[in-house]
Protein backbone atom coordinates (compact mmCIF):
# COMPACT_ATOMS: atom_id res chain seq x y z
CA UNK A 1 0.00 0.00 0.00
CA UNK A 2 1.36 3.40 -0.98
CA UNK A 3 2.44 5.60 1.90
CA UNK A 4 -0.31 8.10 2.52
CA UNK A 5 0.75 11.46 3.93
CA UNK A 6 0.93 11.60 7.71
CA UNK A 7 -0.71 14.87 8.68
CA UNK A 8 -1.77 16.42 11.97
CA UNK A 9 -5.26 15.05 11.34
CA UNK A 10 -3.80 11.57 10.98
CA UNK A 11 -2.05 11.96 14.31
CA UNK A 12 -5.31 12.97 15.99
CA UNK A 13 -7.02 9.95 14.44
CA UNK A 14 -4.18 7.71 15.57
CA UNK A 15 -4.44 8.95 19.17
CA UNK A 16 -8.21 8.52 19.05
CA UNK A 17 -7.92 4.89 17.96
CA UNK A 18 -5.25 4.17 20.57
CA UNK A 19 -7.60 5.55 23.23
CA UNK A 20 -10.46 3.37 21.96
CA UNK A 21 -8.13 0.35 21.96
CA UNK A 22 -7.11 1.07 25.56
CA UNK A 23 -10.77 1.09 26.66
CA UNK A 24 -11.35 -2.06 24.58
CA UNK A 25 -8.63 -3.81 26.58
CA UNK A 26 -10.03 -2.99 30.03
CA UNK A 27 -11.75 -6.41 30.33
CA UNK A 28 -8.38 -8.11 29.82
CA UNK A 29 -6.81 -6.00 32.56
CA UNK A 30 -9.66 -6.90 34.92
CA UNK A 31 -9.25 -10.57 34.06
CA UNK A 32 -5.56 -10.65 34.98
CA UNK A 33 -5.90 -8.41 38.04
CA UNK A 34 -8.82 -10.21 39.65
CA UNK A 35 -7.51 -13.69 38.84
CA UNK A 36 -4.43 -12.78 40.92
CA UNK A 37 -6.33 -11.40 43.92
CA UNK A 38 -7.27 -13.03 47.21
CA UNK A 39 -10.98 -13.33 47.94
CA UNK A 40 -10.76 -10.37 50.36
CA UNK A 41 -9.04 -8.18 47.74
CA UNK A 42 -11.58 -9.16 45.07
CA UNK A 43 -14.41 -8.10 47.39
CA UNK A 44 -12.96 -4.78 48.56
CA UNK A 45 -10.43 -3.39 46.04
CA UNK A 46 -10.93 -5.44 42.86
CA UNK A 47 -9.76 -2.75 40.43
CA UNK A 48 -6.30 -2.28 41.95
CA UNK A 49 -3.62 -4.61 40.64
CA UNK A 50 -2.76 -6.98 43.52
CA UNK A 51 0.66 -6.61 45.13
CA UNK A 52 2.02 -9.17 45.57
CA UNK A 53 -0.01 -11.25 43.08
CA UNK A 54 -1.70 -14.31 44.55
CA UNK A 55 -1.39 -17.43 42.37
CA UNK A 56 -3.46 -19.75 44.52
CA UNK A 57 -6.61 -19.28 42.44
CA UNK A 58 -4.90 -20.85 39.46
CA UNK A 59 -3.89 -24.01 41.28
CA UNK A 60 -7.39 -24.38 42.74
CA UNK A 61 -8.98 -23.97 39.29
CA UNK A 62 -6.41 -26.24 37.67
CA UNK A 63 -6.81 -29.10 40.16
CA UNK A 64 -10.46 -28.96 41.24
CA UNK A 65 -12.30 -26.71 38.76
CA UNK A 66 -15.35 -28.35 37.17
CA UNK A 67 -15.20 -31.61 39.14
CA UNK A 68 -12.11 -33.12 37.50
CA UNK A 69 -9.93 -30.00 37.33
CA UNK A 70 -9.46 -27.58 34.46
CA UNK A 71 -6.05 -29.15 33.84
CA UNK A 72 -7.79 -32.41 32.98
CA UNK A 73 -10.35 -30.55 30.85
CA UNK A 74 -7.50 -28.88 28.97
CA UNK A 75 -6.18 -32.32 28.13
CA UNK A 76 -9.64 -33.44 26.93
CA UNK A 77 -9.95 -30.31 24.79
CA UNK A 78 -6.55 -31.00 23.23
CA UNK A 79 -7.34 -34.65 22.43
CA UNK A 80 -10.76 -33.80 20.98
CA UNK A 81 -9.55 -30.79 18.99
CA UNK A 82 -6.47 -32.45 17.48
CA UNK A 83 -8.31 -35.67 16.53
CA UNK A 84 -11.35 -33.85 15.12
CA UNK A 85 -9.26 -31.43 13.05
CA UNK A 86 -6.98 -34.20 11.75
CA UNK A 87 -9.98 -36.28 10.69
CA UNK A 88 -11.64 -33.30 9.04
CA UNK A 89 -8.50 -32.36 7.12
CA UNK A 90 -7.92 -35.89 5.76
CA UNK A 91 -11.54 -36.77 4.90
CA UNK A 92 -12.65 -33.26 3.96
CA UNK A 93 -9.78 -32.59 1.56
CA UNK A 94 -10.29 -35.97 -0.19
CA UNK A 95 -13.99 -35.24 -0.57
CA UNK A 96 -13.33 -31.72 -1.88
CA UNK A 97 -10.71 -33.07 -4.30
CA UNK A 98 -13.28 -35.41 -5.82
CA UNK A 99 -15.94 -32.69 -6.03
CA UNK A 100 -13.55 -30.15 -7.54
CA UNK A 101 -12.06 -32.54 -10.11
CA UNK A 102 -15.23 -34.23 -11.30
CA UNK A 103 -17.05 -31.95 -13.70
CA UNK A 104 -20.61 -33.15 -13.56
CA UNK A 105 -24.11 -32.11 -12.54
CA UNK A 106 -23.89 -34.52 -9.60
CA UNK A 107 -20.72 -32.97 -8.18
CA UNK A 108 -22.31 -29.50 -8.45
CA UNK A 109 -25.38 -30.69 -6.56
CA UNK A 110 -23.27 -32.33 -3.84
CA UNK A 111 -21.28 -29.11 -3.47
CA UNK A 112 -24.45 -27.00 -3.10
CA UNK A 113 -25.75 -29.40 -0.44
CA UNK A 114 -22.51 -28.96 1.50
CA UNK A 115 -22.83 -25.15 1.32
CA UNK A 116 -26.48 -25.30 2.46
CA UNK A 117 -25.47 -27.48 5.40
CA UNK A 118 -23.12 -24.71 6.61
CA UNK A 119 -25.99 -22.24 6.99
CA UNK A 120 -28.53 -24.67 8.44
CA UNK A 121 -28.35 -24.45 12.26
CA UNK A 122 -26.97 -27.61 13.84
CA UNK A 123 -29.54 -27.22 16.65
CA UNK A 124 -32.15 -28.96 14.50
CA UNK A 125 -29.92 -31.90 13.59
CA UNK A 126 -28.47 -32.29 17.07
CA UNK A 127 -31.67 -33.57 18.69
CA UNK A 128 -32.05 -36.76 16.57
CA UNK A 129 -28.25 -37.12 16.53
CA UNK A 130 -28.13 -37.09 20.33
CA UNK A 131 -30.70 -39.87 20.58
CA UNK A 132 -29.03 -41.94 17.86
CA UNK A 133 -25.52 -41.57 19.26
CA UNK A 134 -26.81 -42.37 22.75
CA UNK A 135 -28.13 -45.67 21.34
CA UNK A 136 -24.68 -46.36 19.93
CA UNK A 137 -22.99 -45.59 23.26
CA UNK A 138 -21.27 -42.53 21.84
CA UNK A 139 -22.47 -39.97 24.41
CA UNK A 140 -20.05 -39.02 27.18
CA UNK A 141 -16.79 -40.18 25.60
CA UNK A 142 -14.02 -39.01 23.29
CA UNK A 143 -14.99 -41.17 20.31
CA UNK A 144 -18.54 -39.82 20.14
CA UNK A 145 -17.49 -36.20 20.44
CA UNK A 146 -14.79 -36.57 17.78
CA UNK A 147 -17.11 -38.36 15.34
CA UNK A 148 -19.74 -35.69 15.96
CA UNK A 149 -17.32 -32.81 15.38
CA UNK A 150 -16.10 -34.39 12.15
CA UNK A 151 -19.65 -34.90 10.97
CA UNK A 152 -20.89 -31.44 11.89
CA UNK A 153 -17.91 -29.49 10.50
CA UNK A 154 -17.42 -31.53 7.30
CA UNK A 155 -19.43 -29.03 5.18
CA UNK A 156 -17.26 -26.05 6.20
CA UNK A 157 -14.09 -28.08 5.55
CA UNK A 158 -15.25 -29.25 2.12
CA UNK A 159 -16.30 -25.67 1.25
CA UNK A 160 -12.87 -24.26 2.12
CA UNK A 161 -10.94 -26.98 0.23
CA UNK A 162 -13.16 -27.06 -2.86
CA UNK A 163 -12.69 -23.35 -3.53
CA UNK A 164 -8.93 -23.74 -3.29
CA UNK A 165 -8.63 -26.94 -5.37
CA UNK A 166 -10.76 -25.51 -8.18
CA UNK A 167 -8.18 -22.76 -8.62
CA UNK A 168 -5.29 -25.25 -8.56
CA UNK A 169 -3.83 -26.32 -11.95
CA UNK A 170 -4.09 -30.04 -12.71
CA UNK A 171 -0.71 -30.31 -14.40
CA UNK A 172 1.23 -31.91 -11.55
CA UNK A 173 -1.29 -34.58 -10.67
CA UNK A 174 -1.90 -35.42 -14.34
CA UNK A 175 1.81 -35.77 -14.95
CA UNK A 176 2.02 -38.11 -11.97
CA UNK A 177 -0.95 -40.15 -13.15
CA UNK A 178 0.66 -40.55 -16.57
CA UNK A 179 3.56 -42.18 -14.81
CA UNK A 180 1.12 -44.76 -13.58
CA UNK A 181 1.12 -43.70 -9.96
CA UNK A 182 -1.88 -44.96 -8.04
CA UNK A 183 -4.59 -42.49 -7.20
CA UNK A 184 -4.22 -42.32 -3.42
CA UNK A 185 -0.46 -42.15 -3.80
CA UNK A 186 -0.78 -39.28 -6.25
CA UNK A 187 -3.06 -37.60 -3.79
CA UNK A 188 -0.79 -38.07 -0.78
CA UNK A 189 2.49 -37.29 -2.55
CA UNK A 190 1.48 -34.63 -5.09
CA UNK A 191 -1.91 -33.07 -4.39
CA UNK A 192 -2.04 -32.86 -0.60
CA UNK A 193 1.32 -31.04 -0.31
CA UNK A 194 0.07 -28.48 -2.84
CA UNK A 195 -2.90 -27.82 -0.56
CA UNK A 196 -0.72 -26.68 2.32
CA UNK A 197 -1.92 -23.04 2.32
CA UNK A 198 -5.59 -23.99 2.63
CA UNK A 199 -4.74 -26.83 5.04
CA UNK A 200 -3.17 -24.27 7.37
CA UNK A 201 -6.14 -21.95 7.07
CA UNK A 202 -8.72 -24.70 7.54
CA UNK A 203 -6.86 -26.31 10.45
CA UNK A 204 -6.66 -23.02 12.36
CA UNK A 205 -10.28 -22.05 11.77
CA UNK A 206 -11.56 -25.53 12.62
CA UNK A 207 -9.37 -25.77 15.72
CA UNK A 208 -10.74 -22.46 17.05
CA UNK A 209 -14.32 -23.58 16.39
CA UNK A 210 -13.90 -27.04 17.97
CA UNK A 211 -11.94 -25.72 20.96
CA UNK A 212 -14.56 -23.07 21.83
CA UNK A 213 -17.66 -25.14 21.00
CA UNK A 214 -20.01 -25.17 24.01
CA UNK A 215 -23.61 -26.08 23.06
CA UNK A 216 -22.83 -29.53 21.65
CA UNK A 217 -20.11 -30.30 24.19
CA UNK A 218 -22.51 -29.41 27.02
CA UNK A 219 -25.11 -31.85 25.70
CA UNK A 220 -22.71 -34.69 24.96
CA UNK A 221 -20.04 -34.39 27.65
CA UNK A 222 -21.45 -32.57 30.71
CA UNK A 223 -20.71 -34.52 33.88
CA UNK A 224 -18.36 -36.96 32.15
CA UNK A 225 -14.60 -37.21 32.71
CA UNK A 226 -14.11 -36.16 29.12
CA UNK A 227 -15.65 -32.70 29.32
CA UNK A 228 -13.88 -29.96 27.39
CA UNK A 229 -12.65 -26.67 28.85
CA UNK A 230 -15.82 -24.63 28.19
CA UNK A 231 -18.01 -27.31 29.83
CA UNK A 232 -15.67 -27.61 32.82
CA UNK A 233 -15.50 -23.81 33.13
CA UNK A 234 -19.30 -23.66 33.11
CA UNK A 235 -19.48 -26.22 35.94
CA UNK A 236 -16.69 -24.47 37.84
CA UNK A 237 -18.32 -21.02 37.60
CA UNK A 238 -21.59 -22.56 38.80
CA UNK A 239 -19.85 -24.09 41.83
CA UNK A 240 -18.16 -20.81 42.79
CA UNK A 241 -20.79 -18.13 42.12
CA UNK A 242 -19.50 -14.71 43.22
CA UNK A 243 -16.01 -16.06 44.01
CA UNK A 244 -14.77 -13.91 41.17
CA UNK A 245 -11.06 -14.38 41.76
CA UNK A 246 -11.48 -18.14 41.32
CA UNK A 247 -13.85 -17.86 38.37
CA UNK A 248 -11.47 -15.43 36.66
CA UNK A 249 -8.53 -17.79 37.14
CA UNK A 250 -10.68 -20.40 35.37
CA UNK A 251 -11.54 -17.95 32.60
CA UNK A 252 -7.82 -17.14 32.20
CA UNK A 253 -6.96 -20.86 31.93
CA UNK A 254 -9.70 -21.28 29.31
CA UNK A 255 -8.60 -18.25 27.29
CA UNK A 256 -4.80 -18.39 27.52
CA UNK A 257 -4.15 -21.33 25.14
CA UNK A 258 -6.12 -19.74 22.33
CA UNK A 259 -4.67 -16.29 22.94
CA UNK A 260 -1.22 -17.83 22.51
CA UNK A 261 -2.40 -19.76 19.46
CA UNK A 262 -3.86 -16.53 18.05
CA UNK A 263 -0.51 -14.77 18.16
CA UNK A 264 0.97 -17.36 15.80
CA UNK A 265 -2.06 -18.24 13.69
CA UNK A 266 -3.75 -14.87 13.26
CA UNK A 267 -3.14 -14.69 9.51
CA UNK A 268 -4.57 -18.15 8.89
CA UNK A 269 -7.61 -17.35 11.00
CA UNK A 270 -8.28 -14.15 9.05
CA UNK A 271 -7.87 -16.08 5.80
CA UNK A 272 -10.34 -18.69 7.00
CA UNK A 273 -13.00 -16.10 7.77
CA UNK A 274 -12.40 -14.09 4.59
CA UNK A 275 -12.53 -17.16 2.30
CA UNK A 276 -16.08 -16.15 1.38
CA UNK A 277 -15.25 -12.51 0.56
CA UNK A 278 -12.86 -13.40 -2.22
CA UNK A 279 -14.56 -16.57 -3.40
Partner 1 sequence: MDSLRPLVKPPERSRRGVRQVPWLLALPGVAALVAFHLVPVGFGAYYAFTSWNGLTHASWVGLQNFRDIVDDATARGALLHTLELAGSFVALANGIGLALALGLNRALKTRHLLRSLFFAPVALSPLAIGFLWSWIFAYQGALNRLLGSIGLSSLERAWLGDPSTALWTILVVMVWQFSGLAMVLYLAGLQGISDDVYEATLVDGASPWFRFRKVVLPLLAPALTVSATITLIIGMRAFDQVKALTNGGPVAATETLSTQIYSQTFALGRFGYGSAFALLLAALLAVAALTQLALLRRNEARL
Binding residues among 250-269 for partner 1 as defined by CB under 8 A: 250-251, 254-255, 258-259, 261-262, 266, 269
Report, in Å, the least distance between residue 213 CB and partner 1.
9
Of the candidates 51, 52, 105, 178, which one interacts with partner 1 according to CB under 8 A?
178
* Helices and strands, number each (H, E), in the chain: 15, 0
CB of 174 to partner 1, least distance (A): 8
Give the number of other CB atoms < 10 A from CB of residue 222: 15
DSSP 223: T
Q: Which of 49, 56, 63, 102 binds partner 1 (CB under 8 A)?
A: 102
- The residue from 152, 156, 176, 246 that contacts partner 1 (CB under 8 A) is 152
Torsion-angle region of 29 (φ positive above 0: left; ψ -120 to 50: alpha; else: beta): alpha
Among 71, 140, 151, 200, binds partner 1 (CB under 8 A): 151
Q: Which of residues 113-142 bind partner 1 (CB under 8 A)?
A: 113-114, 117, 119-121, 123-132
Task: Return the DSSP state at 226.
Answer: T
d(CA 33, CA 27) in angstroms, rounded, equals: 10
Closest distance of CB 157 from partner 1, Å: 8
CB of 97 to partner 1, least distance (A): 6
Q: Name which of residues 11 to 30 contact partner 1 (CB under 8 A).
A: 13-14, 17-18, 21, 24-27, 30
> What crossing angle do the helices spanning 56-64 and 244-278 adopt, rounded to 10°?
70
User: By three-state DSSP, how is residue 256 classified?
Assistant: helix
| Residue of 234, 82, 107, 84 whose CA lies nearest to 162 | 107
Query: How many CB atoms neighbour CB 188 within 10 A?
Result: 14
- Applying CB under 8 A, among 80, 210, 246, 247 the residue interacting with partner 1 is 247
Interface positions, 66-85, toward partner 1 (CB under 8 A): none
Beta-strand ranges (E) seen in the chain are none
> At its nearest, how many Å lie between partner 1 and the CB of residue 56?
19
CA distance 159 to 155: 6
Binding of partner 1 by 215 (CB under 8 A): yes
Judged by CB under 8 A, how many residues of this single chain contact partner 1? Answer: 93
Please state, in angstroms and rounded to a whole number, the distance separating the CA atoms of residues 26 and 249.
16
Asked if 89 touches partner 1 (CB under 8 A), the answer is no
Stretch that binds partner 1, among 50-58, 61-69, 145-153, 194-202 (CB under 8 A): 145-153
Amino acid sequence: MAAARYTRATLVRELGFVAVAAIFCVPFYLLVAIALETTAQADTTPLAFPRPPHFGNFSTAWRTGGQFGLGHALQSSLIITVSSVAGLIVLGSLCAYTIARRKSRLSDVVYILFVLAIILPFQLAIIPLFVELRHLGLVGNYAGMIVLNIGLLMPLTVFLYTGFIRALPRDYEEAARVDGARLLRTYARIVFPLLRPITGTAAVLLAVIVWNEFFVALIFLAGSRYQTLPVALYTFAGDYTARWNLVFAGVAIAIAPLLGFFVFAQRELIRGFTAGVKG
